[in-house]
Amino acid sequence: MSDVPAALYEGKAKIVYPGEDADTLVLFFKDDTSAFDGEKREQLARKGEINNAFNAYIQTYLQEHGVPTHFLRRLDARRSLVRRLDMIPVESVLRNRAAGSLCRRLGVEEGRLLEPPVLEFFLKNDALHDPMINRSHIRTFGYAHAEEVERMEYWTLRVNALLRERFAQVGLILVDFKLEFGRFAGEIFLGDEFSPDGCRLWDVQSQEKMDKDRFRRGLGGVVEAYIEVARRLGIATDA
């Protein structure tokens, strides 16, 4: 018997604990940072608290603009309370500019404007290295219903419209981002986190990378860049 409830799940970046009741969960943001299917791993001091604050800001911003999200409230520096969702094992990736795997796959130069933005789905499965899938795979293998996929697409485009604009206001290009969704009470809600761990942000002036690519490429100053993005958005990070 211990005072701290047992973790329900420990992932690459967060630990999931039970919440106050059966309908909620507590997300604990770790300093662990991983890339290349977990091949590169490091602890980056303060990253967990920065991402927790960052995510709280973005999820609240999206809620205020009509996006249904799991977020309930930040509990402390590293923990947030969320609605427990029945997660859909599909990552929804939106790309405003070419970067990362898209460049390699399609032979496109980094930074190329994608108009309209590209939307991709990936199966969330570490053992299979998160393979790209399409609506047909999602339907045939039962990962989600056709209408759920449509809602995911709709909310992904809506999140993009909202956040592209918000980041532009503070001199940042939202290059791409990854979202996860889940079911609650018959509706599709945005789950997981939105932080520089799961998106690409470039400074509009210097074109400097302000996201996890600094970690992937060993550029250094990873958490410093996250803090700078947070500062521009008016997010307090010295809690």
Which of a copy of itself, ligand ADP, none does residue 118 bind (CB under 5 to 8 Å by kind)?
a copy of itself
Is residue 19 part of the contact set for ligand ADP (CB under 6 A)?
no
Is residue 14 part of the contact set for ligand ADP (CB under 6 A)?
yes
For 139-190, the DSSP string reads: HHTTSS-HHHHHHHHHHHHHHHHHHHHHHHHTTEEEEEEEEEEEEETTEEEE
3-class SS of residue 64: helix
Window 25-54: residues binding ligand ADP (CB under 6 A): 25
Stretch that binds ligand ADP, among 81-89, 98-106, 128-136, 200-208 (CB under 6 A): 81-89
Beta carbon nearer to a copy of itself, 43 or 125: 125
Window 76-95: residues binding a copy of itself (CB under 8 A): none
For the CA atoms of the chain, what is the radius of gyration?
17
Closest contact distance (angstroms) between CB of 156 and a copy of itself is 11
Structure tokens at 239: 């809690």
Window 133-192: residues binding a copy of itself (CB under 8 A): 133-137, 139-141
156: closest CA among 168, 145, 166, 164? 164
Beta carbon nearer to ligand ADP, 51 or 98: 51
Site string for a copy of itself, 103-142 (x = CB under 8 A): --xxxx-----xxxxxxxx-x-x-xx--xxxxxxx-xxx-
Instruction: Note whether 103 and 190 are within 8 A (CB).
Output: no
Instruction: Note whether 53 and 235 are within 8 A (CB).
Output: yes
The separation between CA 17 and the C-alpha centre of its own chain, rounded to angstroms, equals: 19
Determine whether 183 is exposed, middle or buried from the number of CB atoms within 10 Å of its CB (0-12, 13-18, 19+).
Answer: middle
Residues that bind a copy of itself (CB under 8 A): 105-108, 114-121, 123, 125, 127-128, 131-137, 139-141
Residues that bind ligand ADP (CB under 6 A): 9, 11-14, 16, 25, 70, 82-85, 87, 180, 182, 191-192
